[in-house]
Structure 1
Amino acid sequence: MLAALGLAACAVGAPVPEAIAQPRKSAAPSNPDSPLIAAEIKDDDVEIAAALREHYTKYEYRVPVRDGVRLFTTVYIPKDASRTYPMLMLRTPYGAIAHYGVDHFPDGSERGLRGYRNYIREGYILVSQDVRGRYMSEGTFVEMRPHVIAKTKGAIDESTDTYDSIDWLVKNVPSNNGKVGLWGVSYPGFYAAAGMIDAHPALKAVSPQAPISDSFTGDDIFHNGAFFAANTIGFAAAFGKARPKPVKTSAHDWEGLDYEGADIYDFYLALGPLSNVNARHFENKIASWNDIVQHNVRDDFWKASDPRPHYKNVKPAVMTVGGWFDAEDLFGALETYRAVERQSPGTTNTLVMGPWRHGGWWYMDGDKLGDVSFGAKTGNFYRDHIEFPFFQRHLKGKQVPPPPEAWVFETGANVWQRYASWPPPEAKPTFLAFHTGGKLSAAAVGASEDLAGFDAYISDPAKPVPYRDRLEDRVNENYMIEDQRFASRRPDVLTYSSGVLEGDVTLAGPIEADLWVSTTGTDADFIVKLVDVYPQDFPDPSPNPTGVRMGGYQQLVRGEVIRGKFRNSLEKPEPFKPGEPARVRFSIPDAFHTFRSGHRILVQVQSSWFPLVDRNPQTFTDIFRANQADFRAATHRIYRTPQMPSGIKVGLMRGKLQ
């Protein structure tokens, strides 16, 4: 999670300090149209921290909300009081990153100060707040607190807490111009999105970035019912600890599981069934884990925490941001944009997607990820030319061009593109079918291709396919773009490849896996991966400190999983009938990628992705209560006949597929 400036608030007493009860006077009134800081600030955390300390004063408050709870809020205000400034607000559950007390400023060691550089120089009031029940804020914390539609007197949710906080801030913080912007990445992205529901009139612009939305369908915890084990268990072990409230403690009190130096593949394999998590590690003390165990289908618990149905009549301008290689909340970014577009058609609604991992746009150069180069500092471009002008336009009234509806980075070709809608209407639905001999083609499956009409593999839970070739003691976020040659070499991974492309082929928009399968078991996972295969003469990077061989590199473009028992409904799982073909269809998050001339398009199909995803026992059972005897090897078939064609549906934007 991001460790940016002021990711939460720390505090003093409830009354407004006398020092800021009245506007302060500047010794030398400044030009309100000029930046607060005349000199350029280097894109360097230490220099940014020094500029903040020199030009801002820090204050801390307990902000009262409608039910009497007080929320700890940190406010950095420019010392120059000759003009007014908009407020840029962050609401977070992650704490103050050790910056407690009005005398404690960031020192530049924090990851994420770079995202504030433009706002500090231009002159913004910077606000951060601990959400209800976290760290120094009062009240009870609720994971992904459900939105309350019909509010009785005293009813609260994240929307009301945001409304009440903004109302207090615009009335009590001096030198503010009455306009507020709200932003956040990941969990704070959820709070930003919640704040735009029934928004305060002063809230003019909101940027949910990698916001969590539906945790059972595609964000963080489950994907299409498949449990994302390593990330969820590791996160729950730290974040889920009960803490007395309010409490001044380090936000990075993230002592979770002790892997004892083990590779996480070996650690989770040795853990055995998920029923051992409480027995060996959590001791029933982690409430969020117990909720997950209790709600093993998409029931009302998960539906209530999904904020998307409530993005109706959104008033502030919205810019939703995501990364094409975000290992946590790619789904949330795309689906938040779509939900606002569908339910608030009159709202300024922009989608930004770049070649980033989770939160990378806020603090990274963005010129490369893992072994793959993008040819330019895309993170810097985003911060300077996309996000900053958005807030300048809506909070300061600057005459900057409005953003396009969709500002998206085309990977492969490595270029920013602008579109009036997403996906672009030029992207035509095209089915890429699996053929005999491991071929992938837009041509229909022929009747006489192969009498067998299927490909088969044995999936053994005792020997699951690893999610990456290089494992450590935690999930590596770069897996979303890494080389898949190791997987292609396994007998329990099927590969289907196009021929060498004679010209560029660009795919844009949603992807759908459409498989006809059978299994000797009663349940099975199916993972489908879209891969870009580089030509053998692709140049290695220079310098090449890791010694990577880019010739023949199999870059993961997109991958997704479904737990087979949820193939027809996430609410009502059903077993497979052994040996009987069944259709399995599921959505794969959007991509925008150009497969260059001389490359190949590859699709991989497998049934484990460990320990990113927990092992399916391959028997129809509650995964959280399964025992070791439930885990059995099974043979899976992928059919490819005219009556049962398997493949993926993509949006063909440019180029020709054979």
Structure 2
Amino acid sequence: MSGRWFLVVLLLCAALGAEAPELLEPVQTRYTKQEVLVPMRDGVKLFTSIYLPKDAGHPHPILLNRTPYSVGPYGPDAFRSGVGPSAAFAKEDYIVVYQDVRGRFRSEGQFVDARPFNPAKGPRDTDEGTDTYDTIEWLLKNLPNHNGRVGQWGISYPGHYAAQGMLCGHPALKAVSPQAPMIDLWEGDDSYHRGAFQLTANFGFFLFFHSQREPSADLHPAFLQPGTADGYRWYLEAGPVAGLPAKVQQQPEPIWEDYLRHTTYDAYWQARNLRPHLRGVRPAVLTVGGWFDGEDLFGALACAATLDQQSPGTDSHLVMGPWTHGQWASGDGSRIGPVAFGSKTAAWFEEEVELRFFNQHLKGEAGQALPKATMFETGRNQWRTFDAWPPRAAKPKTFYLEARGRIGSTAPSDQAPVFDAFTSDPARPVPYTQDISFHYSAPYMVEDQRFAARRPDVLVFETAPLEADLTLAGPLRPVLQVSTTGTDSDWIVKVIDVFPDDAPDPEDAPRGWHAAGSQMLVRGDVMRGKFRHSYSKPEPFVPGKPTEVAFTLPDVFHTFRKGHRLMVQVQSSWFPLVDLNPQTFCEIPTAQPTVFQKAEQRLYHSKALPSRLEVLVLD
């Protein structure tokens, strides 16, 4: 299922008290509950659920979570199964506030997806920043027994609202934690990745996310049953992307239609890019992300990097753990599928980082300040801290994709235009996972890639067995010299850790999985070729003409151990994670079957046309 989809189920189950009754009792024992309509500056009222500690012996800080996913259960006697960011906060006695954002569930007003931040607003103009400001102002004036300090947190869409909230300028907002926040929906977050539509994640999400104003009788969203377990085949036979809702007898969601109407980086998407506004941020910030988050890995890294560049005075911290989307709040973080990380990483984060951050800034607790960057190093499976990210000691290195599937450290010397070629056929695209289910598979981000390496339409390059550990720390930049016989083409690059043929199976390895020779995906992403020169002005390929396609993959912090190999796979489809490119320059969401064509793809690796991977290496 999609990452946002998964997170919504998690949040709704928690909100409805879906856990065992004995887990509800501590919340009811320690808190009273109020439900109020908080007025905004334009007269719209937002439904707000407030959990007040019964301990009145001392004032308490306020923690705010704003969400489009419902603050239920509704009713003054209906309690959530837990309050606050995690179980680590259970006995901290924060005043915890949940709010349905404008136009969602029991809040008034009109909902706007990723409502743009308005830096030039007048006294009665509103955006998510003003709604956050007005909410904080009301809470400070109307709640008893608070200490005047407010914090805000959220994961995924609520993380986006936290990122918007830190721009509100209220002096009482002292600490904010945007976690897996949507920062730029077109370039790398939920909707598009550099022009390539994220098909399964978005279609699954909009099957249940509608512009409802009132909660349904049952807030648990029902999973779509498309009549087949074979999602690959279903999407392949479904026809144009714009027509998918009709295939499941559902009226199109207006936001889905907006996404498909705006296929370039136009004013619609530019207005929803938060990066230009991350300046002069006053509260302390703890940005949290997962190395294997297929939804908003880009957003977490972009949020932290932009704050460092544009708001250097902000007390900003970054945490990246070995997690899928929101996994730090939904399990112990010890593994993803067959890949184990050697410890309960989520519990450590909750106790040693998240709770410490809010207690220091909202309760004034003493203790050493958090490091600038707290990063989990996969491969070695350890937490490390840095005073900057990427680490100051990381040095640039280039790996060249060579003939006969090799990766080398020196530029090619061949004068002739040496190349590898494959045929990309939209009728038989490369799957993104071995899982054939209909819904998005979050563990694909660490999946064994041998199923793809065996296909003739996937180019495979690898090093010799490494003679020493190799640690990559920071962004990865593939620079591909390519040509196509089509007029458009997708280029997917995957960076993979190949285990030795004698690698032993871990004691807790899933049944049927073997470590020997496995190809663990470390990072992969896509570039829609027509945007290679400009995100706003797509440009067709000249058939057969070599051209450069360069883009930046999100950061990694991974050590390829001695004896392992570094592998790079290059392909032109990743289905149905990414919508099919017809390999004809056109508007893809409405493209008819007649425009889909096979294309011969070439990847060059000569002296004049050196395809390569540029990385940062940490000794």
**Matched residues, percent identical?**
49
SS at match of 2:568: strand
Are 1:559 and 2:549 counterparts?
no
Question: Shift of the alpha carbon at 1:642?
Answer: 0.8
Matches within 5 A, 1:13-162: 48-97=23-72, 99-107=73-81, 115-162=85-132
Classify 1:601/1:47 alpha carbon distance in 2 versus 1 (closer, same or farther; 3 Å): farther
Structure-1 separation of matches of 2:427 and 2:405? 26
Query: 2:345 & 2:316 partners in 1: Cα distance?
Result: 21
Name 1:219's counterpart in structure 2.
Answer: 189
Alignment of structure 1 residues 431-580 onto 2, 5 Å: 431-447=398-414, 453-580=418-545
- Which amino acid in structure 2 is aligned with residue 472 of structure 1? S
Residue 564 (structure 2) pairs with residue 594 (structure 1): no
What is the CA–CA distance in structure 2 between the aligned matches of 1:347 and 1:45, rounded to whole Å?
41
Instruction: Give the secondary structure class of the aligned counterpart of 2:383.
Output: strand
Counterpart pick for 2:261 among 294, 312, 332: 294
CA deviations over 1:112-169 (Å, ceiling 9, x no partner):
x794322221211111100000001000000000111111231000000000000001
| 1:5/1:491 CA distance change after superposition, 3 Å | closer
Q: 1:616 aligns with which of 567, 581, 589?
A: 581
Q: Secondary structure at the match of 2:206?
A: helix
Deviation at 1:284, TM superposition (A): 5.8
Structure 1, unmatched stretches of 5+, are 11-43
Structure 1 segment 111-510 matched on structure 2, within 5 A: 115-239=85-209, 241-243=210-212, 245=213, 247-249=214-216, 252-255=219-222, 257-277=224-244, 279-281=246-248, 285-447=252-414, 453-510=418-475
CA distance in 1, matches of 2:295, 2:270: 19
Q: CA deviation at 1:280?
A: 3.3
Q: Is the 8 A contact 2:9 2:220 kept in 1?
A: no
Partner of 1:20: none
Structure 1 distance, partners of 2:387, 2:421, is: 44
Deviates further, 292-301 or 544-553: 544-553
Cα distance between partner residues in 2 of 1:606 and 1:96 = 43
The 10-residue stretch of structure 1 (522-531 or 281-290) with the greater mean CA deviation from structure 2: 281-290
Q: Which amino acid aligns with 1:287?
A: P
2:618 counterpart SS class = strand
Give the corresponding residue for 1:36: none
Alignment CA distance shift 1:559-1:233 (3 Å): same
Deviation, structure 1 residue 447? 2.1
Residue 242 of structure 1 deviates from its aligned partner by 3.4
Unpaired runs of 5+ residues, structure 2, are: 1-6
Secondary structure of the structure 2 residue equivalent to 1:635: strand
SS of the counterpart of 1:121? coil
Cα pair 2:417 2:605 within 8 Å, conserved: no
Partner amino acid, structure 2, of 1:417 = R
Describe the shift of the 1:279–1:117 C-alpha distance in structure 2 as closer, same or farther (beyond 3 A). Answer: closer
Q: Please tell me the residue identity of whatever aligns with 2:596.
A: F
CA distance in 1, matches of 2:353, 2:80: 25
Q: Distance in 1 between matches of 2:188 and 2:218?
A: 27
Residues 185-239 of structure 1, C-alpha deviations (whole Å, 9 max, x = no match): 0000000000011321111000000000111100011001011111111212211
Query: 1:604: which partner in 2?
Result: 569
Contact 1:49 1:107 (8 Å CA) reproduced = yes
Distance apart, 1:454 and its partner CA: 0.3
User: Residue in 2 aligned with 1:26?
Assistant: none
SS of equivalent residue, structure 1 residue 572: coil
Letter in 1 for 2:77: D
1:322–1:353 CA contact under 8 A, matched in 2:
yes
Inter-partner Cα distance in structure 2 for 1:576 and 1:363: 44
Structure 1 contact 405–418 (Cα < 8 Å) conserved: yes
| Paired AA for residue 137 in structure 2 | D
Q: 1:584 aligns with which of 531, 539, 549?
A: 549
Q: Structure 1 residues 176, 253: CA separation in 2 closer, same or farther (over 3 Å shift)?
A: same
Q: CA deviation at 1:417?
A: 0.7
CA distance in 2, matches of 1:349, 1:119: 22
CA offset at residue 452 of structure 1?
A: 5.6
Residue 192 to residue 556, structure 1, CA distance change in 2 (3 Å): same
Alignment check: 8 A CA contact 1:2 1:359 kept: no
Distance 1:504 1:595 in 2: 6
The aligned residue for residue 3 of structure 2 is none
Residues 349 and 543 (structure 1), Cα distance of their counterparts in 2 relative to 1, 3 Å cut: closer
CA contact 1:518–1:582 (8 Å) conserved in 2: yes
Which one-letter code corresponds to 2:41 in the other structure?
R
2:589 counterpart letter in structure 1: F
| Equivalent AA in structure 2 for residue 296 of structure 1 | T
* 1:90–1:513 CA distance, 2 compared to 1 (3 A): same
CA distance in 2, matches of 1:204, 1:114: 16
Distance 1:282 1:404, change over 3 A: farther
Q: 1:468 to 1:6 in 2, by over 3 A?
A: closer
The normalised TM-score by structure 1 is 0.90
Q: Is the 8 A contact 2:63 2:84 kept in 1?
A: no
Task: Give the TM-score taking structure 2 as reference length.
Answer: 0.95
Question: SS state of the match for residue 588, structure 2?
Answer: coil
Residue type of the partner of 1:59?
Q
Amino acid at match of 1:371: P
Q: Distance in 2 between matches of 1:575 and 1:495?
A: 26
**Deviation for aligned residue 1:254:** 2.9
Cα distance in 1 for partners of 2:565, 2:223 equals 42
Contact 1:6–1:74, Cα closer than 8 Å, also in 2: no
Q: Report how many residues are paired.
A: 611
Superposition deviation, residue 378 in structure 1: 0.5
**C-alpha deviation, 1:293, in angstroms:** 2.0
SS in 1 for 2:325: coil
Tell me if structure 2 keeps the 8 A contact 1:95–1:251: no
User: Given that residues 533 and 600 in structure 1 are in contact (C-alpha distance below 8 angstroms), is that contact kept between their aligned partners in structure 2?
Assistant: yes
Matches of 1:250 and 1:149, distance apart in 2: 39
Q: Letter of the aligned partner of 2:169 in structure 1?
A: A
Distance 1:406 1:282 in 2: 47
Change (3 A) 1:499 1:647: same
d(CA) in 2 for partners of 1:432 and 1:47? 56
Greater Cα offset, 74-83 or 538-547 = 538-547
CA contact (8 A) 1:96 1:250 kept: no
Q: CA, structure 1 residues 332+453, in 2 after alignment: closer, same or farther (shift >3 Å)?
A: same
Instruction: Give the whole-Å Cα distance in 2 for the aligned partners of 1:445 and 1:45.
Output: 63
Greater mean alpha carbon deviation, residues 472-481 or residues 382-391: 472-481
